[in-house]
Amino acid sequence: MKPLPVLLVALVSWWPSLALAQEAVNASYRGIGSIYYTFIWAILCYGLYDTFGKKAMYIGAPILAVAAYLALPAS
């Protein structure tokens, strides 16, 4: 259960769009979408770790991160 909080802390401090969830008047859903997809990514990475082990998480986490980034709505 230890890897999940570590991943969440790393993501919150690393991903700058999490701080920009509330944008200007002509805001898009990209900020809140990035928060949503970040949590989904962390849960899926923990699932990879729990099911297949650390090596599968090291391989699958970057692939899931790219997929989550590509799933964000256009700004």
pLDDT tens per residue, range 7-36: 776 666 666 655 555 555 566 677 788 888
Confidence of residue 50 (pLDDT cuts 50, 70, 90): very high
CB 35 within 8 A of CB 62: no
- Asked whether residue 31 is assigned to any structural domain, the reply reads yes
Q: Is residue 75 part of a domain?
A: no
Residue 58 lies in a domain: yes
Number of domains in the chain: 1
- Domain range for residue 29? 3-70
pTM for the full predicted model: 0.61
| Domain presence at residue 53 | yes
Burial class, 29, CB count within 10 angstroms (exposed 0-12 / middle 13-18 / buried 19+): middle
Residue 41 falls inside a structural domain: yes
